[in-house]
Chain A
Amino acid sequence: MSIVVDHLTKIYRVVKQKSIFKPRFEQKVALNNISFQIDQGESVAYIGPNGSGKSTTIKLLTGLLTPTSGKVTVNGLEPYKKRKENARNIGFVFGQRTQLWWDLPITESFDLLKEIYRIPNAVYKRNLEMLFTLLDLQGFKEIPVRQLSLGQRMRAEVACAFLHSPRIVYLDEPTIGIDIVTKAKIRDFLRDINKEEKTTIILTSHDIDDIETVCKRLILIDKGHIVYDGQIVDFIERYAVYKKIRVAFKERDIQPILIPRCEVSRETTKSNELIIRYKKDEIDTNELLNILQNVGTISDFTAHDDNLTDLLKSIYKEEI
């Protein structure tokens, strides 16, 4: 059971000139000949800068769009041809849009979804119990959705996605605007359910912690091309050529100095700290320390390799 994307291309016609009589269209290539395969039970982060083709891919995978060329197969079905059949086995959370019925408490939404997905009674009861416990829904189950906080609502949305024991779940920005506690609950839930039930998880998020907690694999897409497809740990190891050190000085106001082959900046909130970023194999740390000792008296010093956030920031920056 897997997702197979084979030489997928999607081209939009965008209206360039608005006119009833002679509208002019422009081609916009959203996806350019991408291919990848995701097996059952994988947890994949599918990320990229805005406009990279992320949402287009999700829509193609869920059957909302048809490819211009190439093929998408999900569990043997082509989703745009057999959308309803495919829909039985997938769950989704679209961050900005809600699946829940606005005027009713979440229990009613679940009840309706039971019929929509034809969930057998035993499965429904068991899943409901599990979801209520793991996502902590008990406290607000009688309140109409319209009165819930964003964090409460999101937990309920996630529950909706998993209610029918789908094989694959797509999550698009599920934690945007949510408090830290709820974020942690959702992340832990996703990670656990992926481990226990072997549900395939495809996560799109701008929150790096989401990705690092939940996903093992990373597919990076930019301008319609796949830039990286592999395990997150490999990604960090391969691209983390940069090292970052943070130096705190005794002196109050330190001016950032120019160091060749280094990125030097001052910590925005502390005027006595400098952050220096450089390629590991280009600079000798000792030499650097000598230079820094001329700047002032070093009171504290930490060093670490670029983490995922830094890496992605630099990659995004290059493209935009």
Chain B
Amino acid sequence: MGTVRFICKSFRMLLKIQFIQLSNFYFVFLAVCFTYLGSYTFIYFLMKKFNTVLDWNLYHVTFVFAVYQISFGITNLIMSQFKYFSDYVHRGTLDILMIRPMSLFLQIIMRGCEFVSLGNIAVGVFLVVMVTKPLEIEWSAIQIFKFMLLIVNSSLFIGGIYLIGATMSIYIINGKEVRDLLVQTLQNYLIYPKEAYERWIQAVLVFSLLYFVTNKPAQWFLGIADSWNAWSVILGLPFFLGIYGIWNFCLKSYTGAGN
């Protein structure tokens, strides 16, 4: 119960802090929308010119992009503090958080929410709405449930990627850049069918599980997946839990042994 109250109070305070700088929030929110819609324009122009990538058209690609934006927005909203994990480790804040009788993971999350990620979510939702008609998506209760599953799965995967970056930050300084690399690859290249790339790249994408972050599950939702349908949506949770375990373990061995 105390944990729940802690979460509620922390969240209320984060909102309070954000409200103090409301104009800053609006500016950044708009900038986020603009920036990511800007990324989308390249996809739009290309698909308008070429019409199809294998058997995907503009709307399929847009849908995958949009789903990714929404999931990324949600993950970044919640787990944004993990982007700065390197600071936590090297400035000693970690020590203070660890000598408290509350989960470290939870404490880090509640130290900051990047509300401007709502911009990503807004862009994603906007694009999903735009492609609903062309893709003939019917928003029945089941479809909505499947969509939620889709989003939650992707968000968990991306959360795992954030934790990978955080874990690497413990040992090297580049955790952030590794995370950026993975996130940008997903955003720019994994929105097309994997067959667009050569076989060996496809193998890498599949084995690294990047393919299952958004691409495959989105196919499942749209009904264009050819194989391994439903279970592709549930990989997010075990992935996240696995990385969480690794993060925990690395943290224990790092602090336990002494730096």
Contact = CB atoms under 8 A, between A and B. Distances in A.
Interface in B1-27: 2-3, 5-6, 9-10, 13, 16-17, 20
Contacts of B91: 97
Contacts of A116: 2, 6, 100-102, 107
B101 A92 contact: no
Contacts of A97: 91-93, 95-96
Contacts of A65: 255-258
Contacts of A108: 13
Contact of B101 (A56, A103, A111, A117): A117
Given A59-B95, A64-B95, A87 B101 contact: yes
Contacts of B101: 84-85, 87-88, 116-118
B92 A111 contact: no
A104 B96 contact: no
A62 B97 CA distance: 12
A79 B99 CA distance: 10
A209 to B, nearest CB: 26
Contacts of A59: 95, 258
Given A62-B99, A63-B99, A94 B92 contact: yes
Contact of B99 (A30, A56, A64, A115): A64
Contacts of B95: 59, 64, 94, 97
Interface string B21-53: 000000000000000000000000000000000
Contact of B13 (A63, A98, A104): A104
Given A111-B9, A115-B9, A118-B2, A12 B102 contact: no
Nearest to A80: B256
A192 to B, nearest CB: 24
B13 A10 contact: no
A99 B100 CA distance: 10
A10 B91 CA distance: 22
B25 to A, nearest CB: 14
Interface residues of A, number: 34
A83 interface: yes
Contacts of A104: 13, 16-17
A116 B258 CA distance: 26
A90 interface: yes
A66 interface: yes
Contacts of B102: 84, 116
Nearest to A28: B258
B114 to A, nearest CB: 14
A111 B20 CA distance: 20
Interface string A270-291: 0000000000000000000000
Nearest to B95: A64
Best-surrounded residue of B20, B92, B258 (most CB of chain A within 10 A): B258
A59 B94 CA distance: 12
B6 A115 contact: yes
8 contacts: A59-B258, A98-B96, A101-B111, A108-B13, A112-B13, A115-B6, A116-B102, A118-B2
Interface of A: 10, 12-13, 30, 56, 59, 62-66, 80, 83-85, 87-88, 90, 92, 94, 96-99, 101, 103-104, 108, 111-112, 115-118
Given A94-B92, A115-B9, A116-B2, 18 more contacts: A10-B258, A13-B257, A59-B258, A63-B98, A65-B257, A96-B92, A97-B91, A97-B95, A104-B13, A104-B17, A108-B13, A112-B9, A115-B6, A116-B6, A116-B102, A116-B107, A117-B100, A118-B101
